[in-house]
Amino acid sequence: MTLPAWDWRLSDLAGIPHHGKTVFSCFSCGGGSTMGYKLAGYRVLGNVEIDPQMMKIYRKNHNPSHPFLMPIQEFKSIPDADLPPELFNLDILDGSPPCSVFSTAGAREDKWGGEYAFREGQAVQQLDDLFFEFLEVAEKLQPRVIVAENVKGMLIGKARGFVSLVLYRLREIGYRPQLFLLNSATMGVPQKRERLFFAASRNDLKFPRLKLEFNEPPILYGEVRQGRGKPINPESRTFQRWHRKRPPDLNMGDVTEREEGKVSNFNTILLKDQKVANTLASSSVFLRDDVPEHISDTDAIHIQTFPSDYDFMDADVQYVCGMSVPPIMMHRIAEQIHLQWLDPK
């Protein structure tokens, strides 16, 4: 029996034919993008990651040739002579600069210019500078193609000025950038995840305009649902609200607005079998609509299209998945970049 594309194993990568194109990944987290590139036949040379726990997990699952556990600022300052020569002959430099300051949740403009650490054990950084640090790495390595992923919120309100600066900087370092707002639900991923992708080709290569158009049928939560989830604490307000929900309610914010006169807990999502799952974020709460329990870890793995044999070690499954690009989403993009740009024959 042929398994659906979202149901796969890391061991399947051994059967993927390689075409020889190379990738280096920045802000790699658990390697969602890395797995997407590998599914599309690329050789991922290594990664830069600031989080010790995420690097440990990345090394366990991907065995990179050139791992760099350090902030991107330190990596860009490594003398050229001390870097592996193959990094200066890259096909793709990939990166997902941390994007929480551009999220549409909360008073995001208040966070701009501030310094934060995502979690304990990470260095404090000014997050809205990281995209430009990434572009300095691109200027240093001069890959044929740059691919960067970020949140849809970069296209909303004042953040559009930040996007303009990114596009200007890409042109300044010798690249022709394009912007794509893509929804993973149209790309074989059982999740409504809208993300902004920058794809830029080096000026001297004269590549045509890239076309990224996807129209795969939606995959409903009921098709990927599996196993039992952790029960909702019967002593909690969430449990009480869950029992007061109505069929049209999509999240606990709908319940609190109706029952308590205010909107709260809108990040506590009610997943229905007949609908596509919402964006799986590292901090969101997903509850099953028909039974008072959280989704299972297996659900999170399926929703994010992580492989079933991925070793999360001591990390929270939803955190690793939620911080990553869905592998199948990146697979679709990487495949088209190869077909249209890197090997158009």
Nearest residue to 332 (alpha-carbon basis) of 208, 185, 205 = 185
Percent of the chain residues topping a pLDDT of 90: 83
In the prediction, which pLDDT does 162 show?
A: 86
Burial 17-38 (b: 16+ CB within 10 A, else e): eeeebbbbbbbbbbbbbbbbbb
- Average pLDDT for 278-286: 93
Name the token pair of 187.
């790309």
Is the Cβ–Cβ distance between 284 and 267 less than 8 Å?
A: yes
At residue 98 the predicted structure's pLDDT band, cuts being 50, 70 and 90, is confident
Q: What is the rounded distance in angstroms from the CA atom of residue 93 to the CA atom of residue 108? A: 28
**Which is it for strands 92-95 and 115-116: parallel, antiparallel or unpaired?**
unpaired
- Average pLDDT for 103-116: 46
Which amino acid does the sequence have at 157? G
Is the Cβ–Cβ distance between 295 and 229 less than 8 Å?
A: yes
In the prediction, which pLDDT does 159 show?
A: 73
In the prediction, which pLDDT does 99 show?
A: 64
In the prediction, which pLDDT does 100 show?
A: 55
Is the Cβ–Cβ distance between 323 and 30 less than 8 Å?
A: yes
Task: Encode 283-345 in three state secondary structure.
Answer: CCEEEECCCCEECCHHHHHHHCCCCCCCCCCCCCHHHHHHCCCCHHHHHHHHHHHHHHHHCCC
Residue 116 has pLDDT above 90, yes or no: no
- Average pLDDT for 206-215: 97
Residue 4 has pLDDT above 90, yes or no: no
At residue 334 the predicted structure's pLDDT band, cuts being 50, 70 and 90, is very high
CA distances in angstroms from 19 to 29, 289, 339, listed in the order given? 25, 44, 11
Residue 345 has pLDDT above 80, yes or no: no
Least confident of 9-18, 39-48, 124-133: 124-133
**Domain segments of the chain: what residues?**
10-215+325-342, 221-319
Q: Give the sign of the dihedral formed by CA 82, CA 53, CA 65, CA 97.
A: negative
Radius of gyration of the chain (CA): 20
- Residue with the two structure tokens 């606990």: 252
Burial 184-218 (b: 16+ CB within 10 A, else e): bbbbbbbbbbebbbbbbbbeeeebeebebebeeee
In the prediction, which pLDDT does 107 show?
A: 45
In the prediction, which pLDDT does 127 show?
A: 54
In the prediction, which pLDDT does 155 show?
A: 86
Q: Is 321 a catalytic residue?
A: no
Q: What is the rounded distance in angstroms from the CA atom of residue 38 to the CA atom of residue 223? A: 25
In the prediction, which pLDDT does 308 show?
A: 97
In the prediction, which pLDDT does 19 show?
A: 96
Residue 277 has pLDDT above 90, yes or no: yes
In the prediction, which pLDDT does 153 show?
A: 86
Q: Give the sign of the dihedral formed by CA 150, CA 281, CA 186, CA 12.
A: positive
- Average pLDDT for 330-335: 98
Nearest residue to 6 (alpha-carbon basis) of 32, 25, 28, 24 = 32
Q: Identify the active-site residue in 26, 29, 99, 321.
A: 99
Which amino acid does the sequence have at 45? L
Residue 101 has pLDDT above 70, yes or no: no
Is the Cβ–Cβ distance between 58 and 39 less than 8 Å?
A: no
At residue 1 the predicted structure's pLDDT band, cuts being 50, 70 and 90, is very low
In the prediction, which pLDDT does 241 show?
A: 95
- Residue with the two structure tokens 């929270």: 316
- Average pLDDT for 25-51: 97
The average confidence (pLDDT) of the chain is 91
In the prediction, which pLDDT does 2 show?
A: 64
Residue 102 has pLDDT above 70, yes or no: no
- Average pLDDT for 63-76: 97
| SS3 at position 183 | strand
Nearest 10 degrees: CA dihedral of 191, 64, 118, 278? Answer: 0
- Average pLDDT for 185-205: 97
CATH number of 10-215+325-342: 3.40.50.150
In the prediction, which pLDDT does 94 show?
A: 98
- Average pLDDT for 112-132: 58
In the prediction, which pLDDT does 125 show?
A: 47
For residue 294, count other CB atoms closer than 10 A to its CB: 20
